Structure 1
C-alpha cells in the first residue's frame, strides 16, 4: 500500500520556501519592487498559498525576518547578565549594529519599517511579535541592574531604552553615519552617565 504524503510536511516545506524567497527578493530588488507574484514564483507555490497564510507582503516579510532567528521572540529572549551592566549593554548594542550591517537582516527590517508606517495592522503585529518581546527582555536586564544598584531606582526603563536605541535607529534609518562597534559603545557610555544612581 503506497504511503500517503503528509500535507503538514508539504505545507511547512512550502512555507519555508516562501519565507526564503521573500528574504532573497527583498534583498535583491527592494521592498517597493517585491510582489506576491514574484515571491510565489521564486518559492514554486501559487499566489493563493501565500494569501492563505499571510494578508500582505509586509506580513510575509515580517515572518521572513522572524524566521532568520532560530530563537525568535516566541522561544524566549534573554540578554546577557554577567553582573557588569556596561559590558552587557555594549555586547548587545554591538550585536545590534552588526545585524544592521548584515544585508540578510538589514533589507527585511528596512522593508518592515517602511511598510509599518502605512499599515497599522502590520505595525501591531510587529510590536506584538518582535519589538514588544525584545523590549521586555531589555527592560528585564535593566530591572536587574536597578536591583543591583547599577541604575537609578527611579529610572524610567522605557525612556532608558529610547536613550540607548533611538540614536542608533535614527542613524541607521537616515543613513547619516556609520554604525560601528565604537558608536555602539559611545551610546552605552553616554546613556549610563544619565541613568546611574
Structure 2
C-alpha cells in the first residue's frame, strides 16, 4: 500500500496578511495622534505601534498625513455604517427626510456635535484640518474624499425642501449649508465656547428664520 502523504502546508494568505497590517497601521495612526498630537506622530512611531516595518508604510503611503487621512476615512466609514444599521436604503442614502426640515436639520447637526466631541474623532479631525491649511494637496484630498460628499447630502436635502415649498425659490442650497456648518466648525475649531445640542438647534433656527425682526402677523 502506498504510504500516506503528508498534508501540504497551507499557503499564506497575502491578502489577509496585508489587510491585518493595514488595519493595525490605521489603529496606530489614530491612537498616536490622539495620545501625542500630530506634530509628534511619526511614520516610525506608527510602524512601531502597528508592529510593521517602516517600508511597509511607505509602500502604501507617501507620508504620515496620507496615512492619517486614510485612517480617518476608514473610521468615518465605520461610524456611518453603524449609524445606518437598521435604516432602510432611502434613509441610509442621505439626510433624514421626515417632511419637517427644521427637525431633520437639528437631528443631523446634533449628531455632528456628538461626533466632533467624540475623542475618537476630535484629534484626527483637528490634525487633518490644520495640516490641510498648509498642505494644499492634503487639504484638497480631505475636501474631495470626506467634506464634499457630506456637504452634498445637505445640498440634496435642502434642494428637496425647496422643491417642496419649505425653502423659498432662489435660495442657493450650497450657501444655505454654509450657514449651518460654518458656525459649527468655527466654534469647534477655535474652542470659543462649548459645542452643544442647544447651539446646534439655534443654528437651525437662525439659518431658517434669520435674525431680522419678524413681520407682525396680519390682523394681529
What TM-score range do you get, normalising by the shorter chain? over 0.9
- Unmatched 5+ residue regions in structure 1? none
Partner residue in 2 for 1:160: 176
Distance 2:21 2:93 in 1: 27
Distance 1:115 1:135 in 2: 21
Partner residue in 2 for 1:14: 21
Larger radius of gyration: 2
Match of 2:160 among 140, 144, 155: 144
What aligned pairs does 1:32-181 form with structure 2 within 5 A after superposition?
A: 32-68=39-75, 69-70=77-78, 71=80, 77-181=93-197
Distance 1:54 1:192 in 2: 43
- Unmatched 5+ residue regions in structure 2? 1-7, 85-91, 211-220
Q: CA RMSD in A?
A: 1.5
Deviations 1:41-97 (A, max 9, x none): 00001111111111211111111111113247xx98511111111000000000111
Runs of 4+ in structure 1 deviating by more than 4 angstroms, as ranges, are none
Any idea what SS the aligned residue of 2:134 has?
coil
The structure showing larger relative contact order (alpha-carbon pairs under 8 Å, at least 6 residues apart) is 1
Q: How many residues were matched structurally?
A: 192
Compute the TM-score of the two structures, normalised by the length of structure 1.
0.93
Distance 1:51 1:125 in 2: 18
